[in-house]
Amino acid sequence: MVRRASAGQAELASRARAGIATMAGIIAVLYAIQVANMLTFGWLSLTFGIRPRDVTSLPDILTSPLVHDASSWNHLAANTLPLVVFGFLAFLAGLRQFLTAVALSWLASGVGVWLFGGSLFGHSVTVGASGVIFGLFGFLLVRGFFNRSWWQILLAIGLLLAYGSVLLGVLPTVGRGISWQAHLFGLAGGVVAALVMRPHRPRRAIS
């Protein structure tokens, strides 16, 4: 029993170290891209951001979360803390769960923006990691219920108390220049990730 507990603690500590290193690397990449974007006066945003319903912009689903508004640091700065917090907590569940949550949030938010972003007749370019952030948040909020884990449910309650107000970002009334579509579809992607990664329990025989 003691050895099993020690092994579990050692694995958690190892994941924590890997999570810190991973999130530090991701943030470093995002800030390096932001510097390049500002030096090129937003060229990266225009080139790699999503242009809704433009077939040539479909590949930009894979790149838009890496780029942020080049007019100031505010966009990236606002995304940094929640990305680090949610990303680190998701990483504690293991690399596979972290990558699944990120991938499904990334794709869901991008597809949602491409299909429903902007206005029907206007032109817009959507960039930023907020869709992935909402996805990680959604993953952390619901996974405890799928996993039947009390500590994960308690963590979800704590996160909801601390960050619950961000869920208003999925509403169309969130504000001009903010992609609620990325938030909503990213959140949905995170919920799907939690569902996909839930442990599979053997079915009880019907007698």
Distance of CA 71 to the CA centre of its chain: 23
Q: Would 178 be classed as within a structural domain? A: yes
- Residue 206 domain flag: no
What pLDDT score does 123 carry? Answer: 66
Question: Is 204 among the domain residues?
Answer: no
pLDDT of residue 7: 74
27 CB neighbour count, 10 Å cutoff: 17
- Residue 67 inside a domain? The answer is yes
Residue 45 lies in a domain: yes
Structure-token pair, residue 134 = 């909402």
Give the DSSP H/E element, type plus range, for residue 166. none
Residue 133 tokens read as 């952030």
- Split into its structural domains, the chain has a count of 1
Q: What's 59's domain CATH number?
A: 1.20.1540.10
Residue 202 inside a domain? The answer is no
pLDDT of residue 204: 52
How close are the terminal C-alpha atoms of the chain, in Å?
A: 35
Encode the chain (207 residues) as per-residue pLDDT tens digits. Answer: 555 557 778 899 999 999 999 999 999 999 999 999 999 999 999 999 999 999 999 999 999 999 999 999 999 999 999 999 999 999 999 999 999 999 999 999 999 999 999 765 456 899 999 999 999 999 999 999 999 999 999 999 999 999 999 999 998 876 778 899 999 999 999 999 999 999 876 555 443
Q: What angle do CA 46, 48, 52 make, to 5 degrees?
A: 80
Closest CA to 134 of 88, 182, 90: 182
Q: What is the pLDDT of residue 205?
A: 44
- CB of 192 closer than 8 Å to CB of 143: no
What is the percent of the chain where pLDDT is above 70? 91
Answer yes or no: are the C-beta atoms of 109 and 182 closer than 8 Å: yes
How far is the C-alpha of 103 from the C-alpha of 139, rounded, in Å? Answer: 12
Has residue 8 been placed in a domain?
A: yes
CB 67 within 8 A of CB 45: yes
